[in-house]
Each structure stands twice: as C-alpha cells, then as structure tokens.
Structure 1
Amino acid sequence: MEIIIALLGLAIGSGLGYYLGTKVLNKTVRDKEEDLESRIQDILQQAKDKKAEAEADARQAASKIIEDAKRNGENIKRKKIKEAKDLYNKKKSEFDAKANRRDQQLKNAENKAKEKENQLRQEEGKLKKETEANAKLRQQLEQKIQDTTAKAEAMAQQEEQFRFALEKVAKMSAQEAKEELIKNMRDKAESEAIALVKDRIEEAKLTANKEAKKIVIQTIQRMAAEHTIENTVSVFHLDSDDLKGQIIGREGRNIRTLEAATGVEVIVDDTPEAIIISSFDPVRREVCRLSLQRLVADGRIHPARIEEVVAKTRKQIEEQIMEIGQRTVIDLNIHGMQPQLIRMVGRMRFRSSYGQNLLKHSIETAKLCATMAAELGLSPREVKMAKRAGLLHDIGKVSEEETELSHAILGMKLCEKHGEKAPVINAVGAHHDEVEMKFIISPIIQACDAISGARPGARREILESYIQRINELEQRALSYDGVQKVYAMQAGRELRVIVEADKVSDQKADELSFLISQQIQNEMQYPGQIKITVIREKRAVAFAR
C-alpha cells in the first residue's frame, strides 16, 4: 500500500513538475520572441532611414550629373556647330576651287577645240588644192604614158629595121653574132683570170713574211692549250673507282644535282681513281672539290645532302676569301680599309689576268709602287698611298656588279664608294689613261702595273679572252625572263640554262633555247659550235613536324 501511495505521489509530482517546467519554458520563449521582434523592428527602421538617406544622396548626385551633362552638351554642341561651319567653309572653298579649275579647263579645251577646228579648215583647204593639183598631174602623167608608149612602139620598129639592116651588112644572123660575142668574152675572161692568178702569186710572195708570222702565232696559241687546261680544270682523286658510281647516282641524279648547285662540269671518264672538275671560275671549282671531299668522307651522297654540303662549302670559301684579304693587307701593313674592299682583295686569289694570278700581281705592284715612291723621295704618307693604290688598282676585275664600265673606272667608283682618299681613287682610275692623272702617285701605279705584267712569263693573252667570252655567254643567257642560273660547260662549248618551272613552260623552254642560240650566233664570235641546253625542273618540298 505504501508502495502504491509512493508511486502515486511520484506520478503526481512528475506531472506537476512537467507542467510547471513547460509553463516556465513557454514564458521564456515568448519573452525571447518579443525581444527578437523588437530588434527586427529596430533594424527595419534603421534600414528605412538609411534607404531614405541614400535616395536623397542619389537624387542629389543625379541632379548634379544632369546639370554637368547639360553644360557639357552645350559645349559639345557649340563645338560641333563650329566644326561643321569650318568644314562647310572648307568644302565650299574646295568646291569653288575645283569649279574654277574645271571652268578654266573647259575654257582651255574650248580654245584648243577652236584652234583645232581652224587647223582642220586650213588643212581641208590645202587638201582641196593638193587634190586639184594631183588631178592635173595625173592627166599629165597619162598623157606622158601615152606618148612614151607610142615612142616605144616606134623605137621597136626602128630596132627591127636596124637589126635587119645590120644582119644584111654583117652577112650573119643575130644568133650567130651572139655566139661570136660570147666566145670573145670567154677568151677575154680567161686571160683576165690568168693575169689575176699571177698577180695573186706575186702578192703572196710579197706577203710571205706576214703569213709566216701568222703561222707562228697560231702555233703559239695551240701550244697555250695546256696552260688553259691547267687554269680551267681541277682533278679530284678517289681512293677507289667504286666511288664513281655513288657520285653519279641513280640515273645520274647526284652528278646533275652537283653540277646544278656548283655551276661546274663534273667529268667521270676512264681515268683511274680520278674525277675531272671543269669550269672557267676557280671559285666554283674549289667549291665543287671541297664539297666532293666532304661527301666522299661522309659516305652519304644524295641530292638533298649534296645541296646542303655545297651551301656550307660556299660559306666556308667566303670566309676563306675574307681571311686571305685580311692576311694580305696585314702583310702589306695597310690599315683602315673597308671590309668590302678586303673581301675583294681576297677574291683576287681565285682570279687570273692574262694567265697571271691577280692577287700576286696586285701584291707585286703594291710593293713596286712603294719602292718607286720611296726612291723618288716622296713623303711616307704618299708612299703608303702608292702601296694602297697598287694593291687596289685591279679591284674592278673582281667586282660582282654587272656593268659595261672598264675595270679601271669600275675600280675607281668602288674605291670612292668605300671611302678611299682622292689620290688612291685617281690612281686606280687613271692606270690605263681612262681619266686624267691628277696626283704624283698616278703615273707610279701605271708604270708598276706595266712592270709587273710585262716581265717575261707573267701573262698570256688567251686565258683572259677565254674567260671574257665565257662570262659574256652566261650574261647573255641570264638576260632572259625566267632564267634562274646559267653555267658554261666544256670550255664554252655547252651552255646549261636552268629556268624557273613556274615562269617557263615546256614550250617556252624550247623557244628560249632557240632564241639564245640565235642571239649568240648573231652577236658573238666563237670557234666551232655551242650547245644550248635549257633545264626545267619542278620540285615540290614539304616538311612534316
């Protein structure tokens, strides 16, 4: 019973406690909700106040912006109106000027038309007079023709009567008289021919000495062929004849590429372990020789590799030319020379003049000039200029410019272009008496040039004329449109012309070979015949990356 009462009391106490706790909790929640609602109302009120302030500030800023915009708009409006007025006045002035010019042109054209009309009227009057005169002249000519015809008929009758009377007097017909005349003329011609032969024989006896000298000269020229071969041919030695097949390549592709890239003729014949490189230009031969040396050592010989090696070799030769020029001016103790002139001095190493190496001739001339100037008692400055002019006197022979000027005048212009002093310029231009000598060193250069070139064994004429003819052959072919490269082969007996495939068609290539052959035939003198070969090759190149 007590347990039941205790349980009842516990239940009643728990319910009462729950009721009281719930009531207290609800009151706390209501108080917090009221407090939160009050805070929210305050925040809303503050937001409204700030919004009102912001709207007021915005209205004030907008008013200010509108006022500024109005002021700027008025300024811009006035400015644009002014610009429009100025542009209108400018266009109006231009239009008025054009209108005035047009009016003036119309007036001039009208005046010219009137003058032309007057001229036409005058010419029309002259034409009428000439027509009338021609008509009268025609009548006179017709009358003269009739008179001439009548006279011709009368003369024919008189000729017939005269012939009949002549045959009667001579007692022979016209045919017999003709045969007799022909016989007499034949006898006379035979007599004159015999006399002419005798005169020719006598003349031959009188000119025998001259003919003998001519024969001697021809013999000397034939003996100079060996010297020409030495100066136009290089021999490239091989370790084995098996390399010749690699150099030729499949269907001759390698050797054709090498010839096209270097401009020489590569001759592969029965000569054991040797290939002949032929060209009148020693620089081209040296490029080809060094390229072959690299290709054979590398072992990779194909068209692309050949073009790459030739390009590198040509660059190396250019560097070697520059090195030769620098070493030459240093050895001669010449200072302050422009790099382009130094390069030309180096190019002299690969050029011959009348069989004499041009660089050796120029160095020899420079030393002779310095010695002669010193012996004449000139100042040290003049001695140095004489040596400098002696080295540069033939610089025009190695110029890469295509010009009709002589080498002396061209060398003078090159020296002037590259900043040489006036005495040097004059000495270079006057060493062949093509310009007036104005300084003391000019006759010294001329004399020393003659001394160096005239000494026994220094020069031979045939090589210079040969190189000039080969150069002229190449330049004539290069003058045609679409020609890319021209190479003279086989001592000038063949001319290979490489054209651009995009500019020259197959038919145009045939025409081009004919035109070049006709020009050479009509304008040049050469022994034997020259073969003109026009090569047109289309090459497509692409790269995969």
Structure 2
Amino acid sequence: SRVEEQLADVRDKLHERERHLDKRDDAVTSREDQLAKQEKMVESNQRRLTEKLADVDVRTKELENLLDVQRQALHKASGLGPEEARKMLLERLDAELSHEQGVRVMEAEKRLAEKVDAKAKEMLITSIQRFAAAHTAESTTSTVDIPSDEMKGRIIGREGRNIRTFEKETGVDVIIDDTPGVVIVSSFDPVRRQIAQLALTKLIADGRIHPSRIEELVVETTAEVEKLLVKYGEEAAQEVDIRGLHPKAIQLLGRLYYRTSYSQNVLRHSIEVAFVAGMIAEELGYDGDLARRAGLLHDIGKAADHDTEGGHPKIGADLLKRYGENDVVVHAALGHHDDIRVDMPYTRMQELEAIASGFAGVHQAFAIQAGREVRVIAKTNETTDESAAKVCRDIAKAFEEQLTYPGEIRVTMIRETRFTEMAKPGREIVQRALPGLIAERGIDLVVCNAENAASGSGYTPKIHAELMAAGVDAVTLGDHVYRRREVLPLLESADNVVRPCNLPAEATGRRWATVRTKDGAHQVLVCCALGQLFMKPIDSPFRAVDAALAEAPADVKVRFVDFHAEATSEMQSMGRYLDGRVSAVLGTHTHVPTADECVFPEGTAFQCDVGMTGPHDSILGRRVDRVLAATLTGVPHSFDVAEKDLRINGALVTIDAESGRATAIERVMVNEAEVEHRLSGEIHAIVRDATKVFVDAITRREEAAHKIDIVTLSRNGDTSQLDLCQRTKIWLGATHGFFVAEHHEIIIRLETFHRFDSERLGKAPRGLARLRGAGRKVEGDAVGAALGEQEATPRLEAESVPAEPLSFKQNKGRRQGRVPTEVDFADRSKPPQPKAVSLGRKEGGFREIVLCRDGL
C-alpha cells in the first residue's frame, strides 16, 4: 500500500508538470503570433517611410530649383552678387548687435572674474583636503642610552683617546655631562648624527670600546646608513608614483629624510608638495605626473648644501640637469624661491606694441593683460583730443587687418598735459659754481652722476640741458635710472648719458660712451656699474665692466668707471680689480665723501665715494626734520629735498693722456661762501670799471655815448650777464653811483650832457650795459675799498627795483639845485604813488643823479 501511495504521488506530480508545460507552450505560441504581427507592421511602416523619403527628395529638389530662380531674380534686381549681399547682411547684423555684444562681453567678463577666485580657492582647498601630511620637528642633538654611568668613562677612554677617535671618524660632538643614563650626540649634519648614534649604540652593546673597534664600527654603520638612504628615496618615489629616477637622485632624496626645514621633515615636505602640485595640475588639465616629479625634486639641493657652494635652488637645478631630468623639473628647482628673472619672449605682445608705436603722434604703447588691452600714450604737442580718437580707431583697425588673435583687444588712448616743478638746490650750486671752477682749475672733462637730480630721484631731458649748459660733459646714472619715464627718449638718443652696464641687455640706454674733452683733443671712455651687496639682485658688475671694456675702442687710453655701490669692501674690490686697466674708479651712491683718495700702483685713481652735491645740512639730501619724524614714529612722511648749506663734492683726477695712467687725485668741495666770495670779487672789479668810465664821462662833460664792455661771468658762460643781490641799495658819492639787485634784469644807462641843464635831460645820448646773474649784496665799504677809497662812501637806501619796466619824466615844479622826478610803471593800468629822489649839488662833480628802471 505504501508503494501504491508513492506511485499515486508521482502520477499527480507528472500530471501537474504536463499541465504546466501545456501552459508554457500556449504562451510561446501566443508570443510567436504577436511577433509575426509586429514584423508585418514594421515592414509596412518601412515601406511607407521609404515612399515618404522619396517624396521629400523630390520636393527638396523642387524647392532648391525655386530658390535658385528667386536668387537669380534678386541678384538681377539688386545688382549684387551672392558674396556681396552676404557681406552686407553681416555688416548690418554686426552694427545692430554691437551694443548687445559689448554688454554680453562685459557681463561674461564680470561673471568670469567672480568665478576665477572661487575656482582657485576650491582647487586649493580640494588639493589640501585630499592630502594632509604630518609635521614633525627634530633637533640638532640625539641621545644614546647607556646601562650605567661607568660606561661614560669607557667611552671617553684613557686620556680621551676613544672619544677623540669617535668624534674624528664621525664628524660629530659627543657631550658627556652629569645627566644620568644618557650620552648626547650633537651635529648640524643629520646624516652624520644618525651614523654616530647608531655606531655608539653598537659600541655600547658590543662592550669593546677602543680606537680600532670604533673605526671598524663607524665604517660598517656608514654603509648601513647609505643603504637606508637609498631605501627612503625609493619609498618616497614609490609613494608619489614616480619612476625612472637616477640612482644618485634617489640617494639624495633619502638624505632629505634626515633634514628639517622650519620644523618639518624635508622629505615629507617634498612628498606633500608633489601630491598637491599633481592635484592642482590635473585640475587645470596639465600633466600631473610631471608636476609630481617637479614637486618631489624641487628641494633636492638641500641634500648637498655641505658639499657644494651656492644656494639650494641653484645646486638642485645643477644636479637635476646632470641627472638628465626634464627642463620643467630643472626650472622648478631653480625658481621655486622666485629668485630668477623671468626672461620669456612675448612675441604677440611685442607685435601689438610695434604696430601701435608706428602711428604718427604716438609716444609709447604698452600691451597689458596678456595682450587683451593696449594702452597708447599720445604725444601731447602733436595730437589733439579729436586726432587722438581717430588714431585710436586706426590702431584698432590695424590690429584686425594685420594680426590673428582670439577674442577682442581693447585699445586705450591716453593724452595728458603735465606741468611739473622740482626742487633744485643741487643743480643751483652746480650752475653757479661749476663754470668758475672749470676756468679756475683748468678742467678738461666733467663727469656727473645725476641719478637723483630730479627732485632727489631720477633724471629728465630738461635737467640734462641745464647740466650741459653748466659745463658737464658726460652723465652717469644709478639704480634710480628709470624713476622718471621722460628719461627713456633721452637714453636712446643722447651719446653722453650712460646707464649701469650690468642691467639686463634689453634695458634702454648705453652701457658705455666715449666723449671728447672740452678742447676736442682727447677721447675718454665713460662707464658705470651697480654694486651687488645690500642692493637689488643684479648681474656681476665685475663681469659687466670687463665686457664693456672689451667692447670699447682700444685706442681710447683714458677710461673712467663710476661704481654705484653700497658696500665699501665691494668698492675697494672693484678698484683693485681694475687697477692698471682704467684711469679712475670713483664710487657714488652713499652720498658721504670718503677720505681714502689714492692712486693705486698700476696707475688707477680711486675714491670709495666722491660725496653728494646739494644741501649739506640734510640727511642724504632730505630735510632733517622729515627723516627724523619718520624714523622715530614709524609713520611715513614725505622726504622733501633740503635747501640749506649747498656744496659741490667731487674728485679732481690728473691723468696722462698718452698712457691713460692717473698721476694724482684730489678731493674737491666748494660751498656757497666760496662761490659768493668768488662772485663778489668779480662784481667789485666790474663795478670799479663801470664807475671809472661814468666818472670820467661826467668830468669831461662829453656828449658822445660811452658803452661799457663788461667781462663775461654767467651760468652758461656765453652771455655778458651777472646776477647780483636781491635787495637794491644805492651808494652815492662824489665819484661814483651804482645799485645791485638779484633776479631782476638790471639796465645801467650812462647819461652825459652837453651842459648841466635839466631841460636837456631827456635828450642826452646813452650808452648801455646789462648785468644779470646770481651773487650777493655788495656793501658800501667793500665797494669803496674796490675803488681805492679809504672810507666808506655815503649811501642812500631805496626800494627794490620791480621786475616790470619803469620810466621817468621830468617834474615841472623845478627848484634851484634840485631836479625832482616822478617814478611810475610803463604799464599805466596800476600806477603807484609818485616818489621823488633828490640829491644835493656836489661841487666839482655832478649836479644830480636820477634813479629809475630805465637807467641812471
């Protein structure tokens, strides 16, 4: 019965399976029917689509034919070809949409500017978040544990032999003090310190401490540490996924494991830089592998600081170049402290500037913002506001026609008129004193360092003209050479202005110049250079001067070098370096004259600093109160130019023209008192001669005119002019009369009369002499002494003669023995109150002298 039940269960399961299979068979059959129907629908739709496509092709051809017919009809009606019509349409669209384009461009630029900062911050934050390195600090000492203090004596050894051997082999200092249980190893070289620490630990564990064992263990430990260095370098390269490093580079990377900088392990710092640089490069779409390589190796020069001279950027760049690294990696090591000058050709920007500078009326052009904008400075005297606008449009059109560029270029035209007045105490003393100094000392050539001539900083064409008129033959400049942009055209055109020769080769101006002496008989080479110590980074002045001397004509024997340096040691080094190769090396820049003038054994004159020409009562030419206020308070003040106690400082060098060797050098210092004394003496002589002629004419009562020939004494040495003192004074006596004035054009007319009749006063013949310049008041006693008189002559003070011309006329109300006069302005618009000047009769001499603007 049990078997029957099992058979019955099996039969039921089989019947159930059959029913299930029947259902699946029915479903499959239904699915096949549906697929057949869908296939028929697809075929039907495909036929309809094919028919429609054919119909569309026919209709398209018909439309194209109709369009061709319409185009031909339009061309015939308008008289324009297809290209001409298209161009006209585009121009109309550009004109209509130009304003909208400008607005959209401005909006886009504004949105971009807002996004740039946010994007940069996001990139940096993301990079830092993705990698955060640990920072650890290490010291310059390491400690070694010892089992007992008795071990200290064994380490020291008999008479200190062990410790001396250990220090000699390892190059470290071993410090053994009262600290229990430790010995200190000290060294600034972390690799040596590590070797010493491991070697000492081994010695203590071994127990055999004597010189031979020390030498053996130090050699063994050094080899182990060298292997560790390679291991650390390879692990660092693997961590940042860098391959193909030179074995020496790997070993140097390992040495960085033992170096610290600003309390951070240098190897970990390099790994961190590698990761951050790679992430930023990938965010910007650059080569991340190359950036990581540059970041990992940028500080590799620190591993060789003790073996090679120079800073670690240069050492690292030299090593990487030797190991065949990519130029980008070498540049990263060399420039990661921003101590190299960017010297890349910006051809496109130069083309923009060249095109703009070629237009008439353009003074200078500058391409900025990576060539997106060109700023053009117009020549004020050659352009107007209207013509400047036209030039601006022409420049923009030239850019469109001659250059291919993405985006837009904005052209900005700048036209301005400036009026500038500058303090000039230094130039004033030069103009007053230099001509007389040249004549008195027989000077053949004057070289002037004028870098601070323009109100204490810079140089301008106007100042150049003033110095040339005063007698300067050549001008050298210093580190303020480009402080004023007006100097650039002068540097390009003047053949006697020299800029420092160790500036970059592209800098405007001459590196050296040859100038002739005042008599034209000899040529002199003039050169100047900037120092390096305590000044801005610049090329070597020694090599630059060598190059300038090599370029100069060999037949010019007399050679002068102005060394614009700060450090005395560098100045003296330059003098010794050029001894026998130049005639003189004179220092400038520090403003204070030194007392070390000498002629070196090979014939080169030298002085560390010739000093400053200008106000001596100052701090380096600036007002004392201003400099002290800024120094004591820390608050910035305007350093105004001082104006008191003017002096000329310099050096007078005597040179053999045939050999170019200096034979003597002398310090020169001329102050205001000496200048005034010299001028006063010449004024006395002029007044004496004029007075004698005047007295002789009156004594003889001659009718003929008498003209005085006055010796030339002036600022520029080519006119008969002399400045006298500002306050007018009149000295009157039996034999002479005169007045002295400053900053006014003074005219002395000599009057002689047929007879002393006041009615003929206005008809008298006249002789004329002019005096103008810059001197001081001449007192009556001095004048009397100049004329050979024993006592001072009586004098009458009168008001200063004004700058406007005056005239005089006779007063009808005459009295016996007197001729009252009326003094007034030639311009009658503002007549002053009448003033009378009357002088009593003088027996045996003249009757009266009338003073007015027009004469005596």
More strand by share: 2
Greater RCO (Cα-Cα under 8 Å, separation 6 or more): 1
Same fold by TM-score, threshold 0.5 exceeded?
Answer: no
